[in-house]
Amino acid sequence: MALLPILVAPDPRLKLKAVPAAEVTDEIRQLLDDMLETMYAAPGIGLAAPQVGVSKRIIVVDISRDEEPKAPLCMVNPELVWLSDEDAAYEEGCLSVPEHYAEVVRPAAIRVAYLDRDGKKQELETDGLLATVIQHEMDHLDGILFIDHLSSLKRNMILRKLVKSRRQVPEPVS
């Protein structure tokens, strides 16, 4: 297992459309394990492969609370097969947009089809926080960040702050 470096916006690799994994190989299972370890260490409740620089349609999610047993979900090639008409709003954050949070409106319930870590086809119907996190992580597979759901004014303000906070080397004075 290994901790993977998490890309931070506006890294252009976060804007790429990821490609499906041809099959769930040992290499993919290793990636899933590394992504889970990286997510738990961050700590976060979801992580998508593009966030660690791997342009594949793979996400991991675990919304269990500290005192609860871990409940990792590994999804390879996830596809939304149903969305509810009803919407829900959640305050979202993202490991690739550190220290910024904003309310995002998404369908309240979903059904998602995916391959599990054994390569078996699975379907999950869910709502609440889990539905939101899965949609947030799946957005990453299409190069979409939660800030892309905000007004451009808000988004640009957050991106400017991220660029500023990452600039560690002082700018030369001339």
- Sites of contact with Zn ion (CB under 5 A): 94
Give CA–CA dist 116/160, Å, rounded: 38
Taking the least distance from each CB to Zn ion, the nearer of 24 and 94 is: 94
Give CA–CA dist 153/105, Å, rounded: 17
Q: Which residue is nearest to Zn ion (CB)?
A: 94
Least Å from the CB of residue 132 to Zn ion: 11
| 54 burial type by CB count under 10 A (0-12 exposed, 13-18 middle, 19+ buried) | middle
Burial annotation 3-35 (CB, 10 A radius, 16+ → b, else e): ebebbbbbbeebeeebeebeebeeebeebbbbb
Q: Is 37 a catalytic residue?
A: no
Taking the least distance from each CB to Zn ion, the nearer of 28 and 147 is: 147
CB 62 within 8 A of CB 70: yes
Taking the least distance from each CB to Zn ion, the nearer of 26 and 63 is: 63
Least Å from the CB of residue 83 to Zn ion: 19
Q: Helical H runs in the chain?
A: 26-41, 128-141, 152-166
Least Å from the CB of residue 141 to Zn ion: 11
Partners of residue 121 on adjacent β-strands: 115
Q: Give which of 98, 83, 82, 107 is closest to 42, Cα–Cα.
A: 98
Taking the least distance from each CB to Zn ion, the nearer of 12 and 172 is: 12
Least Å from the CB of residue 81 to Zn ion: 22
Among all residues, which ones are annotated catalytic? 137
